[in-house]
């Protein structure tokens, strides 16, 4: 039981390049989330999904797109990377809605945009 | 404005000392979560509090949620170097869509 895994662990991009971050969970969770963590800003929700085929915007969605084609996977895409997107990205999943359902986090992806 | 305030921002304690980290909101909290993060790693779930006045313990870590459900404290007894890391609180807030809001974290260093 791997829990929540993220690929890749670290990536360096040039401004304007695109990439996709992959999140996978094997806990059969309905809800999945993408956060970014920046110094002094804490964790901020980018997008989330309440089930296969659904996505919704979080607090800071601009510049990102997501897809949830399979229940166990949640992809985060950067179409044209910008230096402001340098951050650590965390994926999380939960069985149900966030108020009283524990979110379980992946190990993170460190992204540097030059 | 930050809806979930953590204090202190950082803390350095001598091994064996006790310490407390606070998490405060101006709104009523639903499930209050405490996580620990080591540098370069993900967030590890510690415990969740839901009811006013609730208290939970895990090994030497105790978390409490006040009766008004607007403040939580995390207390570590007889700190050890293994306790070092960043502690984050997360909570669902009244009026939110059910997603969690996180504090900015408290960085704990334990001197051997």
Please state, as a whole number, how many other Cβ atoms lie within 10 Å of the Cβ of residue B21: 22
Residue A97 banded pLDDT, cuts 50, 70, 90: low
> Is B43's CB within 8 Å of A4's CB?
no
Query: What whole-number distance in Å separates Cα of residue B15 and Cα of residue A7?
Result: 36
Q: Is A97 on the interface with B (CB under 8 A)?
A: yes
Minimum mean pLDDT range among A7-16, A63-72, A95-104, B102-111 = A95-104
What does the pLDDT look like over A69-92, one tens digit per residue?
A: 999 999 999 999 999 999 999 999
Give Rg (Cα) of chain A: 13
pLDDT above 70 (res B94):
no
* Token couple for B8: 């202190």
CB contacts of B102 in chain A (<8 Å) are: 35, 42-44
pLDDT above 90 (res A98):
no
> Is B100's CB within 8 Å of A98's CB?
yes
State whether residue B83 is helix, strand or coil.
helix
Q: Note the pLDDT of residue B95.
A: 61
pLDDT above 80 (res B97):
no
Q: Is B85 on the interface with A (CB under 8 A)?
A: no
């Amino acid at each position: 039981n791997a829990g929540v895994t993220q690929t890749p662990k670290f990536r360096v991009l040039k401004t304007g390049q695109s990439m996709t971050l992959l999140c996978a969970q094997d806990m059969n969770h309905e809800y999945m989330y993408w956060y970014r963590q920046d110094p002094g800003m804490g964790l901020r929700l980018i997008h989330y999904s309440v089930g296969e085929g659904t996505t919704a915007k979080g607090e800071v969605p601009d510049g990102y797109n997501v897809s949830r084609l399979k229940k166990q996977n949640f992809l985060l895409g950067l179409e044209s990377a910008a230096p402001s997107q340098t951050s650590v990205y965390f994926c999380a999943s939960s069985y149900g809605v966030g108020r009283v359902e524990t979110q379980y986090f992946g190990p993170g992806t460190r992204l540097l945009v030059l | 404005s930050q809806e979930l305030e953590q204090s202190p921002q950082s803390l350095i304690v001598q091994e064996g000392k006790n310490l407390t980290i606070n998490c405060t909101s101006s709104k009523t909290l639903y499930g209050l979560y405490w996580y620990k993060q080591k540098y370069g790693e993900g967030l590890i779930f510690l415990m969740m509090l839901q009811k006013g006045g609730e208290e939970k313990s895990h090994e030497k870590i105790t978390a409490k949620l006040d009766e008004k459900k607007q403040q939580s404290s995390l207390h570590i007894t007889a700190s050890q170097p293994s306790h070092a890391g960043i502690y984050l609180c997360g909570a669902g807030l009244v009026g939110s869509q059910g997603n969690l809001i996180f504090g900015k974290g408290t960085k704990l260093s334990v001197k051997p």
